[in-house]
Amino acid sequence: MFRPASVLAAALLSLPFSAHALESGPKSPLPIFDLQRLRLDPAALGSLVVGTGRTLESGQLRVSLNYHYEQLPMHFQTRWEPGEGTGLVENKMTAHMTVAFGVLSWLEVGGELPFVLTQGGKPTLEYYGPNSGGIATPWLTARAAVLRQTKGAPINLSVGLTAGLPVGSREAQAYEEYAWQPRLQLGYVGEGFQVGGEAGIFLRKRQDLGPVSYDPKDIVGNELRLGATVTSLHGETTRGEVSVLTGIPLNGGRVGAELLIAIRRHALSTLDLYVMGGPGVGAGFDTPTFRFVAGVSWATSKVD
């Protein structure tokens, strides 16, 4: 039987709870750091993301433009569940411009300028994620060859330094107060193939996101970053590469890794078209479940 008095009483009792839900809704910004993990190699000698110990030839210039999509680049979970759940950032699109120049036969300099086009997600507890675009942390790089196969060495070996400039957008979750990454890179060029690897320490300000996720393991901080790649050098127009990237936290956090497969096509001797994509593995909150990159590059002479 329909009882108007009971329905009215239930509605009135629910009002305080509704008001409280609105008052306790998302209202706090996140700690500020740059959410973007991927660093494109401006020279792309061998791999698009992993150095192989080589440097551009003296006077050689390479410029690239890239479109970059990430799925769930910021989500909280205690175990790896690919594609599951919601996140503060669920979809993110970024444009990257890179430039590399061979200053000397053994010295190369470069830079990367990312710009967040769009991103969005769902609030978590009392926090809301970034929902705007803007310039992200620009990166400057320098790399010096220590050993070169072209000079009779058994392998290629280089040392490099990447530094982030503190001018990224805070609103787009793309700002670092400071960021440095010294790296050691090595590789070997064989008959029709190339292998390479790198190890570096990523240094940045520590940020605790435990209050956001209620998990003390959600930390942003220093990392040991490792990378490895295998590249095919067969074919005049098309070649493939497989790269693995791993981040190991040094002062709290979770391990994250990515497997990226790329195909590069030499449309012209100085013009390359390429695509790259693959899954993220691990429970790191800033490791996307999937990323995809499409780009075009121009160089004064054939890079690889």
Structural domains of the chain, ranges and CATH numbers in brackets: 34-299 (2.40.160.40)
pLDDT given at position 135 = 96
pLDDT given at position 5 = 45
> Averaged over 58-65, what is the pLDDT?
97
Backbone angles phi, psi at 170, to 5 degrees: -70, -40
> Averaged over 6-35, what is the pLDDT?
52
Closest CA to 202 of 257, 141, 161: 161
Of residues 234 and 79, more confidence is placed in: 234
Integer Cα distance of 107 and 301 in angstroms? 17
CA atoms within 13 A on the CB side of 273: 4
pLDDT given at position 85 = 62
Integer Cα distance of 50 and 41 in angstroms? 7
Indicate the pLDDT class of residue 131, thresholds 50, 70 and 90. Answer: confident
pLDDT tens for 78-92 read 666 665 567 889 999
Give CA torsion, residues 169, 172, 177, 181, to 10 deg: -110
Q: Is the pLDDT confidence value at 235 over 50? A: yes
pLDDT given at position 83 = 56
pLDDT given at position 129 = 83
Integer Cα distance of 85 and 71 in angstroms? 11
pLDDT given at position 215 = 80
**Percent of the chain at pLDDT exceeding 70:** 88
Backbone angles phi, psi at 260, to 5 degrees: -125, 130
> Averaged over 7-32, what is the pLDDT?
48
> Averaged over 138-145, what is the pLDDT?
98
